[in-house]
Amino acid sequence: MWDNLLILVQAPIFNLQLLVDGILIGAVFALAAYGMALVWGVMNIINIAQGEFVILGGFVTWWLASKGMNPFLGIPASFIVLFVVGWIIYKIVIRRVVDQDLFISILATFGISILLQQLMNLVFDSDVRTVESGLGTYFMLDNTITVAEIKVVGFVLAIALGLTLGAFMTKSKIGQAIRATAQNARAARILGINTDRVYAVTYSLNAAICGSAGALVVMTWNVQAFQGLAYTVRSFMIVVVAGVGNLPAVVISALGLGALENFAGFILGIEFQMAFIFSLLVVILVWRNFRLKKHRQVLR
Amino acid sequence: MNWPPNNKVLYGTLLIVAVLAPILFPNYQAQMAYMWLMVVLAMTWDIQGGQMGYNSFGNIIFFGIGMYTTAVVQRAMFFNFDDYEQTAGTLHAITASDYVTSLVVGGAGSAILCVIVAVVLGSAVLGLRGHYFAICTLGLGIAAGEIAGGIDFIGAGSGMVTPVFPDGLGEKGLFFYIIFFTLAVLCHFTLKKLYAGRFGLTLNAIRDDEDKAEAMGLRTTRYKSVAWAVSAFFLGIAGGAMGNLIGYIDPIDTAFAGSTFGVWMVLMAILGGKGTIWGPVIGAIIFHITQELLWTLLFGWQRVALGAIIVAIVVFFPQGIMGFIRDRWPHLMGQTVDKSLTADKSKEGAA
């Protein structure tokens, strides 16, 4: 651990490498976190199955690529497939738990998460999967920094997708209906908005966003059936730090988390990276709660 | 709660069944030992999940800590560290009395350590409410497994071996059957005693409205920590014994087994009916028997089924078996029904 820290001090260029890599992957976290904030804000549900949607999106892309399709077409394909999956899950399960207390909805999404995770394990095996994007690598600053082209492309695509979604939420009719429902579901219903439909679209849209994030993940990184929970926890952390309705903060904290995670993985060793993420979650929550406690409030 | 109407008959019958079962079915002693373990797991989860209204997905950490502590204590008492590592615990068989002593000392150590961990962690984590607590404990459970998998002292990712079960203690299955049965009985009566008094009422007050409970002057975080410590106490001992029953501790698959025991304890408690004293017991027994009988028929789809069952129970049957009985035949639970209020009553029961 100290050796690795020493490397960072002696060769500062490594810091830049880790930072760039981390920020580039952070954009994907931002997408998943944005979806979680959407469902949280509109439906008051914490979707524990979030990470499974990401992984499923990755597997869809991997499967299509193995059938000879261009992996970049996997992004819209995963979007559509996951939209349908989200819609089905909403119709069967989520619709029945939207109005109930959090105790029920969190257990229900927890069950969905286990269901999807084990289903993917059976269908796609427990192997780690990745897709070759066929893009090259940039070498910068006298070859001291290497950046895979796909990471940059993934970053740009993630940002583009985020901006499109932002525009969709403010400009389109259904986006406005979603925001109205988030503000006051009862008033929205009185004004003739079909909130059940809004919920369905919100949940499916969330699944679809996660799906295309997963398509980016499988090209830049890799996916495995049991990695889902890490993405759920990352999204949750990002939303907790940024706040539910604050999109710029979500993006910034996602990029920050990506960088932080990359540094931690390098310093502590890759085997502790998961431990770091989950411990960081505990630390963040306890710290936030501790700060609020001074004002005699709690996280809600 | 006056149910069952006659405790002596019920407890007498259960005791006779519990004593006769391993004698009548000697081939299934180990499976029945597992069953009592499941009962303990479900009952301890229900302290948080049912009585206190806190979804804890991380109670498994105490199970794992107990398992490792007992194994480490046993190793420290009778073995040279290096020998033990190299021969994987098989070289030296220890005598029966040493084994029992080490198990008792290890169990006590696990219980104490788990209580300490619960109080220390609890003072920080239990300040969180609702979904924050749920996801925080989910993170804790996984972080514990990942961290344990990186510590060389406890075998890191390749796990630890517990001492070989010695000759002279009879059947291994029966030995652990007695341990887990005793633990389940102790746990049941402890919880019964606790729920009957102020403590149980406080937990229920926290579940129903924590802000009001606090406004009434109850030190809620303190009560929650104590409740978690009670869970941790029993889980620690159960984990220690479980490590010895399995004989091998893997950090993620047996000790901090979030995907098996960690999920099962939630499922069993809500299946039986959370927030009742007999619910988790019934849920655990039904779940375990179903699992033993039907699980192999599912050909690898068991864990998929597990997720589906959780969703189905939570969505369609949230009150559980005991809750269903309470709604359907309230007089069995010693609740009298005012006929004019029946419609409201059924709603109350479901909440």
Q: What is the pLDDT of residues A244-275, one digit of tens each?
A: 777 888 889 999 999 999 888 888 887 788 88
Q: What is the pLDDT of residues A190-214, one digit of tens each?
A: 999 999 999 999 999 999 999 999 9
- Structural domain count of chain A: 1
Query: To the nearest whole percent, how much of chain A has pLDDT over 90?
Result: 36
The pLDDT of residue B340 is above 90: no
Grade residue B247 by pLDDT with cuts at 50, 70 and 90.
Answer: confident
Q: Residue A50: left (phi > 0), alpha (psi -120 to 50), or beta?
A: alpha
Domain that holds residue A186: 2-299
Grade residue B173 by pLDDT with cuts at 50, 70 and 90.
Answer: confident
CB contact under 8 A, A108 and B307: no
Cα A214 to Cα A129, A218, B79, B270: the distances in Å are 12, 6, 49, 33
Grade residue B1 by pLDDT with cuts at 50, 70 and 90.
Answer: very low
Dihedral of the alpha carbons of A158, A160, A161, A165, in degrees to the nearest 10: 140
From the CB of residue A145, how many other CB atoms can be counted at a distance below 10 Å?
A: 16
Closest residue in B to A46 (Cα) is: B131
State residue B186's pLDDT score.
Answer: 93
What is the average pLDDT across A149-172?
A: 87
The pLDDT of residue B201 is above 60: yes
What is the average pLDDT across B85-113?
A: 79
- Give the domain CATH number at A261: 1.10.3470
Interatomic CA distance for residues B147 and B251, integer angstroms: 9
Q: What is the pLDDT of residues B291-337, one digit of tens each?
A: 888 777 777 787 888 888 889 988 888 888 888 888 888 777 666 66
Mean pLDDT of chain A: 87
State residue B91's pLDDT score.
Answer: 52
Give pTM, 2 decimals. Answer: 0.86
Of B57, B136, B309, the CB nearest to A285: B136
Contact between A291 and B134 (Cβ < 8 Å): no
Peptide bond between residue B4 and the one before it cis (omega within 30 degrees of 0): yes
Interatomic CA distance for residues A24 and A27, integer angstroms: 6
- B321 inside 8 A of chain A by CB: no
What is the average pLDDT across A97-112?
A: 86
State residue B190's pLDDT score.
Answer: 92
Interatomic CA distance for residues A299 and B126, integer angstroms: 12
Global ipTM: 0.85
Contact between B39 and B14 (Cβ < 8 Å): no
Closest chain A C-alpha to B120 CA, distance in angstroms: 12
CB contact under 8 A, A281 and B304: no
State residue B263's pLDDT score.
Answer: 85
Interatomic CA distance for residues B262 and B59, integer angstroms: 7
Contact between B40 and B107 (Cβ < 8 Å): no
- B303 inside 8 A of chain A by CB: yes
Of B55, B150, B307, the CB nearest to A114: B307
State residue B349's pLDDT score.
Answer: 46
Phi, psi of B249 (to 5 degrees): -115, 115
State residue A272's pLDDT score.
Answer: 83
- B295 inside 8 A of chain A by CB: no
State residue B330's pLDDT score.
Answer: 77
Interatomic CA distance for residues B333 and B148, integer angstroms: 45
Q: What is the pLDDT of residues B18-59, one digit of tens each?
A: 888 888 888 888 888 999 999 999 999 999 988 888 888 889
CB contact under 8 A, A279 and B301: no
- B317 inside 8 A of chain A by CB: no
What is the average pLDDT across A130-150?
A: 76
* Chain B residues close to A286, C-beta within 8 Å: 124-125, 127-128, 136
State residue B295's pLDDT score.
Answer: 73
Tell me which of B87 and A20 has the higher pLDDT. A20
Interatomic CA distance for residues B118 and B95, integer angstroms: 34
How many residue pairs bridge chain A and chain B with CB atoms within 8 Å of each other?
130
State residue A208's pLDDT score.
Answer: 94
CB contact under 8 A, B127 and A111: no
